[in-house]
Each structure stands twice: as C-alpha cells, then as structure tokens.
Amino acid sequence: MNNRDVAAVFETVADLLEIKGEAIYRVLAYRRAGEAIRSLGQDVHVLWEGGKLEEIPGVGKAISEKIDELLRTGKLGFYEKLAAEIPPGLVEVLRVGDVGPKRAARFWKELGITTIEELEEAARDGKLQQLSGMGQKSEGRILDSIEALRRRKTDRVSIGVAWPAAQELLRRLREVEGVHAAESAGSLRRWRETVGDLDLIVSSTRPSAVMQAFVEFPEVERVRGQGETKASIELRNGLRVQLWVHPPERYGSALQYATGSQAHNVRLRELALSKGLSLSEHGFKRSDGSEILCAGEEDVYRALDLPWIPPELREDRGELQAGRDGSLPDLVKLEDLRGEPHLHSDWSDGKATLEEMAGAAADLGMRYIVFSDHSRSLGVASGLSIDRLREQRAAIAAVQAKLGKRIKLLQGSEVEILADGRLDFPDEVLAELDLVIASLHTSLRQSSDRITARLLGAMDNPHVDMIGHPTGRLIGRREAADLDMDAILGKAAERGVALEINANPERLDLSDAHAKLALERGCVLSINTDAHHPDDFALRIYGVGTARRAWASAEMVLNAWPLDRLLRWLEKRAP
C-alpha cells in the first residue's frame, strides 16, 4: 500500500462522510490528511515505522491509528462500515459538476442513483426535475456537466498544456480596453505539476466589458456562469477557465486569494482574525466595518506582518513560520541557470545538430552545455557505440572551435543503467567524459529491491556524477518505479551525486515533494531539460517551478553555479 493508496482511502472517507451529512470539519480533517499524505515526499511506511505519523500536518491520534491499521492489515474497518452505509460509487457522482454532497445524497435516497450512468439516465428521463428544489435548468446543467466530464477524460491537465494556454488567454485579455493588468493565479501560478482549471485575474474598472469580451473569445465552448465580477467558461479543448475582475485598488487581495492554496489562505485568514481583521478577496475588514485595500499582494502580507511569500511556497508547509522567522529561502530563478547538463543531439535521438543545439543555448545566454547523448544499449534512441562516442568528441571540438568563447561545450553521456545493474560503458570510457548522467529507461517494473539496488549501485560508481529522471515516471501515463527513495536520497547525499529535476512537464522527475526531501537530506539538484530540440530549452521554466516548490535556492542547484565552480566540482569527484 503506497502513499497514493492510503491518501485515496481518506479522501474517499471524506466524501462519504460528507454525503452522509457529517460535521463539515470532520470531513475536512480527513480530506486534509489525505492530501497531506498524497503530497508527502517520503514513503508513509518510513514515518510509520519510526512512529512519526503524527508529524504529518493534519494527522492526529485518530487518523494515525487508522493509517496504522491500513498499513498493518491492508484494510480499514472504519471505511468498510461506512461503505456499507453509503454506496462508495457515489464518490464518482461527486465528480459531476453541479452535483455536491447534498444532491448526491438525495439522488441516492430518493431515486436510488449510485453511478454517473444512472444519474444520466434519470436526467434524460426528466426524473431529477421532479425533486423539490430542482427544476429543468438544474437538470440540464447536470447533463451538460456529465458531457463535460466525459470530454475532459482526466480531472487535471499537465502544466505543460495549461501554461501556454493561459499565456494566450492573458495576452488577449491584456488587449481588451480597460484592462490594467492580467495574471494567472491558482495552482498554475504555484507551478503545480498538473492543474484542474485556469484561474485568471484581471485588474479593471470596467468589469462587465471585460467579462463580455472574455466569454466571446473564439476558443470558448460554453459559458458555465457569468456574473458581474466572475465568469466560468470551458474551452474547446476541455480546459475550464475562471475569470475574476477586480478594481486596481483591490487587485492584490484578489490575486492573493485566487492563488491559494486553500490551506495557505485558511492560515492567513486565521492569522488575520487573530489581529481582529477579516480577510477576503476584496481586502481586509476591521470589526468597525472599515477596510484596508490591497493594490498589490505584498500589501496583504504586510498587513499580517509577513514578508511577501512566493506563490510556489503557499502550500501550508511552514511558509508562514519561515516568513515570521525571516528564514524564507531565496528561491532559484530562471535567470540563475547558467548551463544545461542534459541534452541530446542528432548523434543519438535528438532532432538537431551539435551546432544548432549549441547556438540555440548560447542565444539563450547559457554559458555551457553538456552533450549527453544516449549510450549504446538504448537502440530505440540510437545510443552511441564507444567508437561513435569518441568520434563525437572530435565533432564537439570542431563546433567549439567555430563558436569560440560564445559557449563552453562539454561531452557527457546519459548512460544506461542496465537491467542487471551494470552501466552501459566500462569505467575507462566513462573516465574520458566530462560529466556522466546515469539513467534508467528499461525494466522499470522490477521489484523495489532490484530497481533500488540498480540505482544505488550506479551511484557507487565513482564516475557517475548525476542521476537522470530518477523515478522514471511519466505523469498520468506511467507510474514511478517502486524505489526506496529514503535509500536513494541517502546514497546521493553520501556520494555527492546530483539528482536531476527533469524539466519536461511530462516528467518533472524528481517531483517537487521528492526534491524538497532531497534538499533536506543535503543532496544537490540539477534542473535539466533533457532537450532533444532547441525548442525544448523553453521547458526550463517547469523545472525551475518544481525546484522552487521544493524550496530550492540557487546554491542548491548545480547548473546555477558558475562554470568554474561546476568544473572544480567535477574535478574533485573524478576518481
């Protein structure tokens, strides 16, 4: 039973309790605990064995006992009792928009509905509108929502899809007359790896005009709601978008509010209350009814005696305390990155020549790049033989001569960790390279013991400087390998091996949570694009976002170091 499984049990418990009509704070407690376990960097088993379950925020005595029962027996009596009372299938019904716990409970009790299919059938038969408090419109909305749910396929989309889509909408919004500023908020602004919808905030004194222009954008499929200051639409590609319009003098509180996370906002509001202030997206209200307006986000935090907190940290993971202590990290920025340690050329499966990749990198201001084409056994990616690897070295030297001081070119390899744990090149070949990245691409479904041993063994090789996309996950498509992350991070810290944050939005591997844990263990990170084409360098933003979510400063990121420091580091590592 992994973290996700445990989290899913508590999240389902929360939904079932809510349908049952339990006290909302009890429901929220289970939901919060579920989310905390889901975003835990380390295996919940490790905390369990160490008797540290209650250190998880939102986990107290009752829930830690339930985790214990789950991990010991694989079952939870509390859940089974609940599932006997309320059909667990109803949890699925909650995914339909416009259907919350109250309606789900009524549909079940009054119409016997326990699945989305049954709900759809009842709606088509006009049975929903016969319930008191329901009408034709509500029934129609629910039918629309079921269709929308089917169109979406998944609940959350990759940030690699969401971010460009948001930039396009923002560009268009900024052209609308009367718009002072427009930004994305929500989980996108916090750089979460997937987002449920886009939240856009506009500063304007003419909200209704902005609203009207927005719902008439050509890519809008349907308008889910439209009011004076708020609109909700769905795009043709299934993405849902919320727009808030606020006057400039309230823009800061609106942006802060919409950025979340919910847990962070709850903490802020508690803090506000303790100072006799009530905080909403419109600003602060004192008990006498007077207001404090916040044009900028920093005004919101200042009113609470806090420094501005970067959006990536707003997850209620200690950022308020760090703000009070003055110990907020100076987070790594895109401009801090000085080079690219992991990229491919057409010598293996890249789509561009050495010179094209080098030129593009130099144009972006990078000081160095490391050609790290695949090694010989990865046939599907045209991995280099030892002879080809040596030929490539001469080719790189020729390009270097041509580019001169514009950029420093290094040669590395993304060397396969074979299924039996050996590396794909012998040590004497690895010793010829400037930087060696060891990666898993095959046999990712091995048992935890075997696949963990492969990575540990690779890190014991003195030539290995870095591990590429450590868990091998593809978000939404392939699960991470079943690694003992505790052992992996411990070994990386001990051996001084850098761990990659692969910036490709399909990977983001290490994840934010693992990267944070890695830093706490004293590991060094590297933000790599794994570029196969010059356009891929643009993916750096996703890696930077993930590193920032891990509380990483530039000091902790290998490719944010100056080149001479990197070279000294490599030299010191050489056996």
Place of tokens 């326990």: 114
E strand or H helix that includes residue 370: strand 368-371
- Residue 27 beta carbon to DNA: minimum distance, rounded to whole angstroms: 8
Rounded CA gap, 140 and 407, in Å? Answer: 61
Q: Work out which of 46, 273, 334, 397 binds DNA, going by CB under 7 A.
A: 273
316 belongs to the binding site for DNA (CB under 7 A): no
Instruction: Between 273 and 574, name the residue whose CB sits nearer to DNA.
Output: 273
| Residue list 1-40, contact with DNA (CB under 7 A) | 23, 25-26, 28-30, 33
Contacts with DNA, 187-216, as mask; x by CB under 7 A: ---------xx-x-----------------
**Among 275, 247, 274, 339, which residue's Cα sits nearest to residue 540?**
339
Calculated CA dihedral for residues 251, 255, 257, 263, nearest 10 degrees: -160
Burial class (CB in 10 A: 0-12, 13-18, 19+), 421: middle
Q: Given 3-state DSSP classes, what are the helix, strand and coil percentages for the chain, each rounded to the nearest 5? A: 50, 15, 35
| DSSP character at residue 374 | B
* Options 260-268, 368-376, 423-431, 471-479: segment touching DNA (CB under 7 A): 260-268
Instruction: Between 240 and 317, name the residue whose CB sits nearer to DNA.
Output: 240
Using CB under 7 A as the binding criterion, the count of chain residues that bind DNA stands at: 64
- Residue 240 beta carbon to DNA: minimum distance, rounded to whole angstroms: 6
Contacts of 193 by beta carbon, 8 Å cutoff, 6+ apart:
158, 159, 475, 505, 508, 511, 512, 546
51 belongs to the binding site for DNA (CB under 7 A): no
Rounded CA gap, 173 and 436, in Å? Answer: 46
Rounded CA gap, 544 and 560, in Å? Answer: 11
Place of tokens 């057409």: 346
> What are φ and ψ of residue 85, in 5° steps?
-85, -45
Rounded CA gap, 520 and 548, in Å? Answer: 14
229 belongs to the binding site for DNA (CB under 7 A): yes
Instruction: Between 280 and 442, name the residue whose CB sits nearer to DNA.
Output: 280
65, 370, 413, 433 from 342: Cα distances, Å: 45, 6, 8, 13
Do residues 146 and 96 make contact, with C-beta atoms less than 8 angstroms apart? yes
252 belongs to the binding site for DNA (CB under 7 A): no
| DSSP character at residue 433 | S
**Among 187, 203, 207, which residue's Cα sits nearest to residue 195?**
187
Instruction: Between 97 and 496, name the residue whose CB sits nearer to DNA.
Output: 97
- Residue 186 beta carbon to DNA: minimum distance, rounded to whole angstroms: 6
Listed in sequence order, the DSSP H helices in 376-437 are 386-403, 427-430
- Number of neighbours of residue 492 by Cβ within 10 angstroms: 24
Residue 488, both tokens: 């992996």
156 belongs to the binding site for DNA (CB under 7 A): no
Instruction: Between 281 and 465, name the residue whose CB sits nearer to DNA.
Output: 281
Amino acid present at 407? I
Q: Work out which of 16, 59, 202, 570 binds DNA, going by CB under 7 A.
A: 59
Rounded CA gap, 107 and 343, in Å? Answer: 54
Q: Work out which of 2, 39, 280, 400 binds DNA, going by CB under 7 A.
A: 280
Q: Work out which of 73, 167, 212, 262 binds DNA, going by CB under 7 A.
A: 262
54 belongs to the binding site for DNA (CB under 7 A): yes
- Residue 181 beta carbon to DNA: minimum distance, rounded to whole angstroms: 19
Instruction: Between 6 and 410, name the residue whose CB sits nearer to DNA.
Output: 6
Instruction: Between 23 and 431, name the residue whose CB sits nearer to DNA.
Output: 23
> On the CB side of 510, how many CA atoms lie within 13 Å of its CA?
33
Rg (CA), the chain: 26
Q: Work out which of 34, 41, 87, 101 binds DNA, going by CB under 7 A.
A: 101
Q: Work out which of 38, 127, 141, 302 binds DNA, going by CB under 7 A.
A: 141
Contacts with DNA, 80-99, as mask; x by CB under 7 A: --------------x-xxxx
- Residue 218 beta carbon to DNA: minimum distance, rounded to whole angstroms: 21
| Residue list 62-81, contact with DNA (CB under 7 A) | 62-64
379 belongs to the binding site for DNA (CB under 7 A): no
- Residue 199 beta carbon to DNA: minimum distance, rounded to whole angstroms: 5
- Number of neighbours of residue 288 by Cβ within 10 angstroms: 6
45 belongs to the binding site for DNA (CB under 7 A): no
- Residue 48 beta carbon to DNA: minimum distance, rounded to whole angstroms: 14
- Residue 84 beta carbon to DNA: minimum distance, rounded to whole angstroms: 17
- Strand runs (DSSP E) across 174-330, as ranges? 179-184, 194-195, 198-204, 220-226, 230-235, 240-246, 277-280, 283-286, 291-292
Q: Work out which of 233, 279, 300, 467 binds DNA, going by CB under 7 A.
A: 279
226 belongs to the binding site for DNA (CB under 7 A): yes
Instruction: Between 136 and 167, name the residue whose CB sits nearer to DNA.
Output: 136
318 belongs to the binding site for DNA (CB under 7 A): no
**Among 437, 404, 463, which residue's Cα sits nearest to residue 558?**
437
Rounded CA gap, 328 and 82, in Å? Answer: 42
**Among 331, 290, 239, which residue's Cα sits nearest to residue 555?**
331
Q: Work out which of 270, 391, 460, 494 binds DNA, going by CB under 7 A.
A: 270
Rounded CA gap, 17 and 26, in Å? Answer: 8
220 belongs to the binding site for DNA (CB under 7 A): no
Instruction: Between 231 and 518, name the residue whose CB sits nearer to DNA.
Output: 231
Instruction: Between 320 and 547, name the residue whose CB sits nearer to DNA.
Output: 320
- Residue 568 beta carbon to DNA: minimum distance, rounded to whole angstroms: 41
102 belongs to the binding site for DNA (CB under 7 A): yes
The binding site for DNA (CB under 7 A) comprises: 23, 25-26, 28-30, 33, 54, 57-64, 94, 96-104, 129, 132-139, 141, 186, 196-197, 199, 225-230, 240, 242, 258, 262, 265-266, 269-270, 272-274, 278-282, 285, 324
